[in-house]
């Protein structure tokens, strides 16, 4: 019985030692490369706060993927590549958000006042669109919505956990289905 306890204690102490070693390694990596990662992110983003966010996210990725770093020589290039990719993703996201916001402002700020009848017609049209979208089966509907929001096929595939080669087909089928359903609804209204 005491042998079993000793073996369990040995296993637990080995796990604790490994966790401690990993924590020490991570802290040393952070202290050694924090400034470099921040400077790389700052050079891409040209914004201190965003660069700090990207730096934090980079080290979070390191913490979660520390087993993918095979050698100490690969750590710094890995961190730099992750920081650059995260910074570029941040820029892409802000460009898309700004574009969507600008388009929304253009659509909603026409300078004229609308009548109650116009607002009612718009609400009916929006409801018709949502009803038509609800008729489209998944994942086609999600692919179409994300594509309309400006995401690339690769981003759609990653976010929905799909094969990138299938996304284009899903979007095309969703457009056809939407046209069929929406057209039928509009035909019934007229």
pLDDT for the residue numbered 83: 93
Mean pLDDT by 10 residues, the chain (190 residues): 56 65 85 93 90 95 84 88 92 82 74 74 84 85 85 86 90 90 68
Count of structural domains within the chain? 2
2 three-class SS: helix
Euclidean distance between CA atoms 61 and 37, whole angstroms: 13
Q: Considering the domain boundaries, does residue 109 fall inside one? A: no
Same domain (yes/no): 17, 55 = yes
Task: Pinpoint the alpha helices (H) of 109-163.
Answer: 116-135, 140-148, 153-160
Report in angstroms the alpha-carbon separations of 113 from 38, 42, 109, 133, 152. 49, 45, 10, 29, 36
> How far is it, in rounded angstroms, from Cα 178 to Cα 144?
9
pLDDT score for 55: 96
| 13 and 81, same domain (yes or no) | yes
Kindly report the pTM of this predicted structure.
Answer: 0.48
């Amino acid at each position: 019985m005491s042998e079993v306890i000793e073996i369990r204690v040995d296993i637990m102490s080995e796990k604790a030692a490994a966790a401690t070693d990993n924590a020490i390694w991570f802290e040393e990596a952070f202290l050694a490369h924090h400034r470099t990662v921040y400077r790389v992110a700052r050079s891409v983003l040209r914004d201190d706060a965003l660069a700090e966010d990207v730096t934090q996210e980079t080290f979070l990725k390191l913490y979660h993927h520390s087993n993918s770093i095979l050698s100490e020589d690969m750590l710094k290039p890995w961190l730099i590549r992750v920081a650059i990719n995260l910074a570029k993703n941040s820029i892409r996201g802000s460009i898309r958000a700004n574009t969507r916001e600008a388009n929304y402002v253009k659509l909603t700020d026409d300078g004229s006042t609308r009548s109650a009848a116009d607002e009612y017609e718009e609400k009916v049209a929006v409801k018709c669109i949502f009803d038509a979208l609800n008729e489209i089966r998944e994942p086609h509907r999600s692919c179409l919505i994300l594509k309309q929001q400006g995401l690339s096929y690769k981003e759609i595939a990653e976010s929905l956990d799909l094969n990138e080669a299938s996304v284009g087909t899903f979007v095309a089928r969703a457009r056809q289905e939407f046209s069929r359903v929406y057209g039928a609804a509009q035909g019934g209204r007229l």
